[in-house]
């Protein structure tokens, strides 16, 4: 390793400076300049400054990318001169010449956005190769095969990335790969003939065919001048910022389009110079499990893209210790230095050229949710980072991976195992086998669970990878494109299952005598790397086994212990309470196990659909008068009371917000002839009468129809029965010595008088029950804010309401005039055209719905300073929405049980962001 330069000056950004040099221990930039130099460029500068062996080069800033798009794809006038000066510095450093001479300088050109976007944008290696330099490199290296192979690779990358020679619709293979396979077929009768065994003459023939292919597809000759090649490559990198897959990736991960990318130009070092050269990708810890082991892979006599592209399946990095012991020792020192310096798990690329180690890149490694938790907790124990840093580093959503199911051991034993590969994304996934990304998108859109199976994936497959439950490849290793992207998305993934024979033409996959057709079920275990034919049953994750099913002791699960430590830290930091949306005692117990501090929404109507209760409910709806309706409600009362008793017991003193009946009555009645006939026989009511009542209750727009408090206004006996069930249950459980905290929530209030009328019923019934049962307990009455009018008259509603809960599902529908159930047909187009930044039913629309929430908060607190404010839409478990609710000063968020840990972490992160 080179010595750390003592004369390195602090890095400063300067106006009009578009090119930042790094090399020989000196760098114009540093690791803090990510916005200007991109993540890759900033880290190359930083590694150079700390003395790592980084090949010299320069970074063209993200400002140039912005200028390029703002000025009709042209460059700032100063740029060309600054690039020439940087190339001259490289030439001086390495003793080579870029345009001519007996020692040609070859360069790599890579993109580098502020945030890592693995595989989303394109890399070009061996730039500077042409018909002349290939002969010089062959002569100087004494290795003609290496020289011609480098030229062949350059033609392939440049032809694809810069000149657009790519597969056409309907083609399964890249055109250059097809040309290689055709040559192998012609000369060796086998298109799988090993690349390593191709002769110099074979590769020279490929060079001729590649140049002809470029001419045929583009009508242009491949450029021979290195300077022309360089500017073509720079333009291609900037152009790739707006390619389809980069845009899809940015949308998925919320990366702003205006950030732009930098371009990194670096001296080539060669891993394909023979048996003393290699290239690899390594992680300072296992990115799938988080274990503190050196993890990665390499290929002897190869270039970096071979490892990531997954065309050959590489060797595990520990084997390098036997094949190249000195280089491996150096690599282990680099590993320790990088982790200590960057204080995070690193993903590094390295090349060994003739036994000399070079580091080409480092970045914070993408990791699974499981690994993120383990790495963060371990690094706190190792005193590398603080608890606050640990909390900030884990994407809150990624905790869902920790709770994701695994395969049931008994079912896996009985299943037909057809192949094994490398475990690249943990968890278990079963789905219908699909071979093309576009088919995965189409089938998933129809509701099918699919597994995308490919020979290897490429960035073009991104949409299909997003749509699939899991990804399986026949080639590639744990640092291939498929593995990197799967880990980041939390997808189950198995790579390099080399027994798989994938036939795109016949749409089949064959392995060890078993043939599966497209559409058949296939299952993969991303933790063990196993592939099974058919569907395999799943079992709960270790964390769920400890907290929910109680089938595993905490001390037996390291995964649980790490999770519990993280949650304890989060709970000490956050200010928001986290409640759950739960309708049964079992759901409540699960949520309390996950750390819920009460129920934020109990939907009483869900209880009516169980067993014989639906018959009593239907009898109530079909009643001809109030007396008959009351008789039917008396049958429902004990059912509701028992449910609430179970919920209060499960909560053991925590609050329960119980919403009175919300859906329109027609939802409870049968609509087809056969079901109406069966109900007629059960209840002794003529079928015609049932059909007539169904017709009477039919609504053209039920979402805005006779529902919510409107039911209680027209049929006050329904509200009365429900209030009685709640309070009798409360009295029963309170008398058992368990504290109860009922909160009765009146839905869909838009007018203050609606709430007043319903509160009168609730208070009257409460007094009656307390007097009858001789048990005292406190309760609250409040409302859901789910129509815009309620937000606008919140001050008047707050005169009676003791709490507000924002029902953001319906508030979004009523504010945007969008039906949640029908918006799927246009929301994707709206995000694509950037009309909206995200699906408003997934993330709160802060400018519209959020503004109404602010108005409601401000007006309510003027009237009632201590009013309790919460949110109970599914937004309550979405991290950005949780952050917004924290900023708004709500008391709690409420979400489904399995999202409670996500909300706990997101609430802590909101506090930490605020401190920054």
Q: How far apart are CA 749 and CA 814, in angstroms?
A: 13
Across 591-620, b (16+ Cβ under 10 Å) vs e yields bbbbbbbbbbbbbbbebbeeeebeebbbbb
Q: Which residue stretches of 603-708 are H helix?
A: 613-622, 626-651, 673-683, 687-697
Which of 872, 885, 886, 895 is catalytic? The answer is 872
Q: How far apart are CA 333 and CA 754, in angstroms?
A: 71
Q: What DSSP string runs through 565-602?
A: HHHHHHHHH--SEEEEE--SHHHHHHHHHTT--SEEEE
Q: What DSSP string runs through 818-854?
A: --TTTGGGTHHHHHHTTSSSS-TTTS--TTTHHHHHH
- Summarize the chain as % helix, strand, coil (round to 5): 50, 15, 35
Helix (H, G, I), strand (E, B) or coil at 127: strand
Is the Cβ–Cβ distance between 636 and 841 less than 8 Å?
Answer: no
Q: Give me the residue label for tokens 């298109």.
A: 191
The candidate with the shortest Cα–Cα distance to 451, out of 540, 369, 525, is 525
Q: How far apart are CA 234 and CA 60, in angstroms?
A: 9
Q: How far apart are CA 146 and CA 383, in angstroms?
A: 46
Angle between helices 900-915 and 879-888 in degrees, nearest 10: 50
Q: Is 895 a catalytic residue?
A: no
Is the Cβ–Cβ distance between 562 and 377 less than 8 Å?
Answer: yes
Q: Give me the residue label for tokens 């506090």.
A: 911
Residue 656 β-bridge partners:
599, 742
Q: Residue 660 has what DSSP assignment? A: P
Is the Cβ–Cβ distance between 371 and 286 less than 8 Å?
Answer: yes
Q: Name 19's Cβ contacts closer than 8 Å, sequence gap at least 6.
A: 58, 59, 60, 61, 79, 82, 83, 85, 86
Q: How far apart are CA 529 and CA 424, in angstroms?
A: 8
The candidate with the shortest Cα–Cα distance to 823, out of 801, 800, 845, is 845
Q: Is 695 a catalytic residue?
A: no
Task: Tell me the two tokens of residue 556.
Answer: 């037996």
Enumerate long-range contacts of 337-344, CB under 8 Å, 24 or more apart. 337/50, 337/52, 338/47, 338/52, 338/284, 338/362, 339/284, 339/285, 339/384, 340/384, 341/46, 341/50, 342/31, 342/43, 343/379, 343/384, 343/385, 343/389, 344/375, 344/379, 344/385, 344/393
Is the Cβ–Cβ distance between 849 and 838 less than 8 Å?
Answer: no
Q: Let me know if 792 is exposed, middle or buried by CB neighbors in 10 A (0-12, 13-18, 19+).
A: middle
Is the Cβ–Cβ distance between 294 and 335 less than 8 Å?
Answer: yes
Q: Name 634's Cβ contacts closer than 8 Å, sequence gap at least 6.
A: 721
Q: Residue 496 has what DSSP assignment? A: -
Is the Cβ–Cβ distance between 340 and 333 less than 8 Å?
Answer: no
Residue positions counted in the chain: 916
β 57-60/124-127 pair status: unpaired
Which of 401, 481, 666, 886 is catalytic? The answer is 481
For the annotated catalytic residues, the residue numbers are: 481, 872
């Amino acid at each position: 390793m080179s010595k750390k330069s003592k004369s390195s000056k602090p890095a400063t950004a300067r106006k009009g400076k578009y090119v930042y040099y790094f090399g020989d221990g000196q760098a114009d930039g540093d690791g803090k300049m990510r916005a200007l130099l991109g993540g890759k460029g900033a880290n190359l500068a930083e590694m150079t400054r700390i003395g790592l062996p980084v090949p010299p080069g320069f970074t063209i800033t993200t400002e140039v990318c912005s200028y390029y798009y703002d000025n009709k794809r042209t460059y700032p006038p100063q740029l060309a001169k600054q690039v020439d000066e940087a190339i001259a510095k490289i030439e001086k450093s390495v003793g080579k010449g870029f345009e001519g001479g007996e020692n040609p300088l070859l360069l790599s050109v890579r993109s580098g956005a502020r945030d890592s976007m693995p595989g989303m944008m394109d890399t070009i290696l061996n730039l500077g190769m042409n018909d002349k330099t290939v002969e010089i490199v062959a002569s100087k290296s004494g290795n003609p095969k290496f020289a011609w192979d480098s030229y062949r690779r350059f033609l392939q990358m440049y032809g694809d990335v810069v000149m657009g020679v790519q597969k056409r619709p309907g083609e399964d293979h890249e055109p250059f790969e097809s040309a290689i396979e055709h040559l192998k077929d012609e000369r060796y009768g086998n298109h799988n003939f090993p690349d390593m065994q191709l002769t110099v003459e074979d590769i020279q023939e490929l060079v001729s065919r590649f140049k002809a292919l470029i001419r045929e597809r583009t009508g242009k000759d491949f450029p021979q001048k290195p300077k022309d090649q360089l500017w073509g490559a720079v333009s291609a990198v900037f152009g790739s910022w707006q390619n389809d897959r980069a845009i899809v990736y940015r949308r998925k991960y919320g990366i702003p389009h205006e950030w732009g990318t930098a371009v990194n130009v670096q001296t080539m070092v060669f891993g394909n110079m023979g048996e003393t050269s290699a290239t690899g990708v390594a992680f300072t810890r296992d990115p799938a499990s988080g274990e503190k082991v050196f993890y990665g892979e390499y290929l002897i006599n190869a270039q970096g893209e071979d490892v990531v592209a997954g065309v050959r399946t590489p060797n595990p990095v520990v084997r390098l210790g036997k094949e190249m012991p000195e280089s491996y020792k150096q690599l282990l020192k680099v590993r320790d230095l990088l982790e200590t310096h960057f204080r995070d798990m690193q993903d590094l690329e390295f090349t060994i050229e003739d036994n000399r180690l070079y580091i080409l890149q480092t970045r914070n490694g993408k990791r699974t949710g499981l690994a993120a938790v383990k790495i963060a907790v371990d690094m706190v124990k190792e005193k590398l980072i603080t608890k606050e840093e640990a909390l900030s580093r884990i994407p809150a959503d990624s905790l869902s991976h920790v709770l994701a199911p695994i395969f049931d051991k008994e079912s896996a034993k009985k299943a037909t195992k057809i192949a094994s590969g490398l475990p690249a994304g943990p968890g278990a996934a079963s789905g219908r086998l699909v071979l093309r990304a576009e088919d995965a998108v189409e089938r998933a859109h129809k509701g099918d669970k699919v597994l995308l199976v490919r020979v290897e994936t490429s960035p073009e497959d991104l949409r299909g990878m997003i749509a699939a439950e899991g990804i399986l490849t026949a080639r590639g290793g744990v640092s291939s494109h498929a593995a990197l992207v799967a880990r980041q998305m939390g997808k189950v993934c198995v790579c390099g299952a080399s027994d798989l024979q994938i036939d795109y033409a016949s749409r089949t996959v064959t392995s060890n005598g078993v043939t599966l057709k497209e559409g058949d079920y296939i299952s993969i275990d991303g933790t063990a790397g196993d592939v099974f034919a058919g569907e395999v049953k799943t079992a709960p994750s270790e964390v769920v086994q400890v907290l929910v099913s109680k089938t595993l002791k905490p001390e037996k699960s390291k995964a649980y212990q790490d999770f519990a430590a993280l949650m304890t830290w989060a709970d000490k930091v956050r200010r928001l309470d986290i409640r759950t949306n739960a309708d049964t005692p079992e759901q409540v117990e699960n949520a309390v196990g996950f750390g819920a501090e009460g129920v934020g929404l109990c939907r009483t109507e869900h209880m009516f659909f169980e067993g014989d209760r639906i018959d009593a409910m239907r009898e109530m709806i079909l009643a001809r008068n109030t007396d008959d309706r009351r008789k039917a409600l008396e049958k429902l009362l004990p059912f509701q009371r028992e449910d609430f008793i179970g919920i209060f017991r499960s909560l053991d003193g925590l609050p329960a917000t119980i919403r009175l009946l919300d859906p329109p009555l027609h939802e409870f009645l049968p609509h087809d002839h056969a079901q109406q006939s069966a109900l007629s026989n059960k209840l002794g009511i003529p079928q015609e009468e049932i059909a007539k009542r169904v017709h009477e209750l039919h609504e053209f727009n039920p979402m805005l129809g006779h529902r919510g408090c409107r039911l209680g206004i027209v049929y006050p006996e329904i509200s009365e029965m429900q209030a009685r069930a709640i309070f009798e249950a409360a009295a029963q459980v309170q008398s058992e010595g368990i504290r109860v905290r009922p909160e009765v929530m009146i839905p869909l209030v838009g007018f203050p008088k609606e709430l007043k009328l319903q509160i009168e019923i609730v208070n009257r019934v409460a007094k009656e029950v307390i007097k009858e049962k001789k048990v005292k307990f406190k309760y609250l009455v409040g409302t859901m804010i789910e129509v815009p009018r309620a937000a606008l008259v919140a001050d008047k509603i707050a005169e009676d309401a003791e709490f507000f809960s924002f029902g953001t599902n319906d508030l979004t529908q009523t504010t945007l005039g969008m039906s949640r159930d029908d918006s799927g047909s246009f929301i994707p187009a709206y995000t694509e055209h950037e009309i909206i930044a995200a699906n408003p039913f997934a993330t709160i629309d802060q400018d519209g719905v959020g503004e109404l929430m602010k108005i409601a908060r401000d007006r309510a607190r003027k009237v009632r300073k201590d009013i309790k404010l919460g949110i109970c839409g599914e937004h309550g478990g979405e991290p950005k929405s949780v952050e917004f609710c924290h900023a708004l000063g709500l008391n709690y968020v409420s979400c489904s049980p399995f999202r409670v840990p996500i909300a706990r972490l997101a609430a802590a992160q909101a506090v930490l962001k605020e401190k920054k």
